[in-house]
Structure formats: C-alpha cells, structure tokens
Amino acid sequence: MRRSTDRILVSHVGALPRPEGLQRVFDAGRAEEAAFQALLPSAVAEVVERQVAAGVDVVTDGEIAKRGLFTGYVRDRMTGFEERVVTAGDVPRSAGISGRDRRRFPGFYAAGLGGFSYGAVAAPTGGVPDPIASGPVGYVCTGPLRYTGADAARADIARLTGAIAGRDVEAFLPAITPGTVEHWLANEYYPDDESFLSAIADVLHEEYRVITDAGLVLQLDDPDLPDAWQMFPDMTVPEYRRYAALRVEALNHALRGIPEEQVRLHVCWGSFHGPHRDDIGLGDVIDLILSVPARCYSIEAANPRHEHEWEVWEDAGLPDGKILMPGVVGHASDIIEHPDLVAQRIERYARIAGRENVIAGTDCGLGGRVHPEIAWAKLEELAEGARRATTRLWP
C-alpha cells in the first residue's frame, strides 16, 4: 500500500458514476447482460482515466460492474440461500439502518424523505432487514453457504489491471464484510449467530484472497460496524459493543492469512441521506475498528454529524505503521466542498497522525449518491485540496 513522504495522496471509497452508455444498458436489466459485459472493459478504462485526470492516486473500477448497491453483487457470488416473497405478516429482523432516526422523526420518513438523493443506483430488493431498501423479495440462508464468485472477481481484476497498465497509480477493489451480508440475509440453516457469521466469513475469505493474490489493495466495506446501532433501537451501548465485537471477530476470521499491508477498512454510518441524529459515536467503537488487521482505516469524517470526531483520534491515537484516510469530501450533499476547506480538514488529521500517514478520501462512494457531474467535481476539488494541504505541510 502506497505511503507518501512528500505529498498528500488522494483516493476515495469506491462507487463512481457509470459512463452514460453503460448506464443505459445497465438500466435495461438482465436482458441486456451480454451488451453490458461487452461494454465493461472500455467503461472501466474510461472511469480510471477520469480518476487519473481528476488527480486520484489510488483508483478503482468505480464498482460499475456490480448490480444493486455495494452489497447486492455478492448474491451472484455465493449459493446456499433462496429468495422469498415478503408478505404483510413477515416481521423484519431489525428496525433498519435508520431505525432510531425513524422513531425520532416519523413525519420526515412518512413524507418519503431520506434514502438516496440521486436515482442512478436503485435500492436493493433484499430489504427485509432495512425499511429503506425494503421490497417484495427477501433472502434466506437455507443450506451451507458456498463461494462461487472467483471468475467474476477475476474479471473485475482483469478489467481494472488492464485499465491501469502504464499508469503511475495504485489500484484497489472493494468487498463487503460478514456483518454487512447479515443485513440482508436471514438465517434458517446455521444453529446460531456465531456459526452463521463464520460461514459468511469463509465465503468472503475466498473473495478477499482472489483480490489480494492479484496484488491489489482490498478495501473492506463495513458500514455495519457503526450503522447497525440504528437497527436495534433498544440496545444499550455495552450491548451493542458485544454485538459489534462478534461481527468484527467474523471479519478477522475472513482475513486470516490475508496480508495486512494490502487491506484498507472503510467504516461509515451508512450512505443513505437522513438525519443521522442517533448514530453511535466514533468513540464508542474506535477500539473495535482498530482491532481489524488493516494497514489503512477509511473513516467518514466530513459528514456534519461526525466531523467533530477528529478529536477521537487525539485520544485513541493512530497505531504505528498504520495509515488514516479520513473522508474530507462528503456524499450526503450536492454542495461541492471548497478546496481550502478540504485542505483544512486534511491538515487537522495530519497534525494528529503525521503528514505521511494521511490519505485524502471521501466519506463514502459518490456514485449513486450525487449526480455524476457533482461526483466528478467533488473528486477534482478533493485533489486540489490535497495539493493545497501539501504546500503547507511540506513547506
């Protein structure tokens, strides 16, 4: 994993807008799957080119090949579950990832507000656990879980490595975590949560290994670690910490044998738009985050509900040898951050963690959260802010 000693590097969390032609074919659904696959290599090359032009140093494929939101793709890469039609009598396993906010602001949600502001990425249909993503189909584990996604993962890798050939950039691919799979997959097969999570971890371990064996950085997307707090409105903080610790244990099981220097952990409070009034604080879970064997920690930090939590790092400290990638550009607003604000945010973290240990990042994926024009403009201002911070941090 890259570390710079003379400037602030720039990356982001993963999701980016699909090129217009690819998006049209994607919107046509599975009937146009052959055309979609045929367009992907040139589309990935275009997305990489736009990242490089914007000033991004650590790039990805924009997750443009993945159907659904960032969790949905894994349903095509595993077996052992079935789809079921959700009926009015079905009781959700949880209150959803905005559950506490829904209790506090029922009128806001009754008015149809919240969710995603830009419709290029449709809400997933496996939403029994999450009212934001609810739909007519639920997913239930009914047999042993097995990984079947190696060929799909290798295709992602081939397209991305082909697109970065000859460029002075590093590449990463995102993958989800056991606790996040558990958001949409109910269990009727394994005897308890521990064995269910362990089985999910074994599936994801194989995906992680394919990515790291190819020499790419593995980004672990784990919004579940803090955002599941909203799913269980009656839990206390100690109870939730025990819940989260079990999911972190499963993630660490999935990471067994994976080189730490190739791992980046992304943690956020969910990329849905909403009040976030009742999010759990970073200070309540920072030790759990740091217990994951990753070289880099990507943390949502520009969201106004959490921007003040830079102070948590003053007390927690960044462990030796680690890298911090705070979000200094957000996904929850169409307002494009001024590069001086971006620079100020970067410098704040550089003073705490050391300038060589900070990468400028985004709060979450921009694709599907804001209009494509806004997404690319945010990346450009992110890179400009990093340049301005560099001139002050390396005078």
Mean pLDDT of 2-22: 96
Q: List 253's β-bridge partners, or say none.
A: none
Residue 367 placed within a domain: yes
Confidence of residue 135 (pLDDT cuts 50, 70, 90): very low
Residue 116: pLDDT band with limits 50, 70, 90 = low
Does residue 126 lie within any of the structural domains?
A: no
Per-residue pLDDT, averaged over 234-238, amounts to 97
Residue 260 lies in a domain: yes
Is residue 27 a part of any domain in this protein?
yes
- Amino acid found at 44: V
What residues contact 29, with CB distance under 8 A and at least 6 apart?
A: none
Residue 334 forms part of a structural domain: yes
The closest alpha carbon to 102, from 124, 125, 129, 132, belongs to: 132
Domain assignment present for residue 47? The answer is yes
For residue 54, what are its two tokens? 């914007």
**Taking a C-beta distance cutoff of 8 angstroms, is the pair 47, 64 a contact?**
yes
Give 88's pLDDT tier (boundaries 50, 70, 90): low
Query: Strand 137-147 vs strand 78-85: parallel, antiparallel, or unpaired?
Result: antiparallel
Residue 293: give its domain's CATH number.
Answer: 3.20.20.210
Tell me the percentage of the chain whose pLDDT exceeds 90: 84
Closest CA relative to residue 322, chosen from 301, 299, 345: 299
Nearest to 59 by CA among 178, 207, 210, 162: 162
Q: Which amino acid appears at position 145 of this protein? A: L
Question: In residues, how long is the chain?
Answer: 395
In the prediction, which pLDDT does 102 show?
A: 93
Amino acid 136: pLDDT: 58
Q: How many CA atoms lie within 13 A of 385 on its CB side?
A: 28
Query: Nearest 5°: phi and psi at 297?
Result: -120, 120
Whether residue 130 contacts residue 165, with contact meaning beta carbons closer than 8 Å, is answered with no
The amino acid occupying position 279 is D
Taking the C-alpha atoms of residue 154 and residue 331, their distance in angstroms, rounded to an integer, is 29
Give the count of domains, the chain.
1
Query: pTM for the whole thing?
Result: 0.93
| Residue 50, in any domain of the structure | yes
Tokens 């077996």 found at: 79
Per the structure, the complete domain to which residue 163 belongs is given by: 9-67+149-180+190-393
Specify if 73 maps to a domain: no
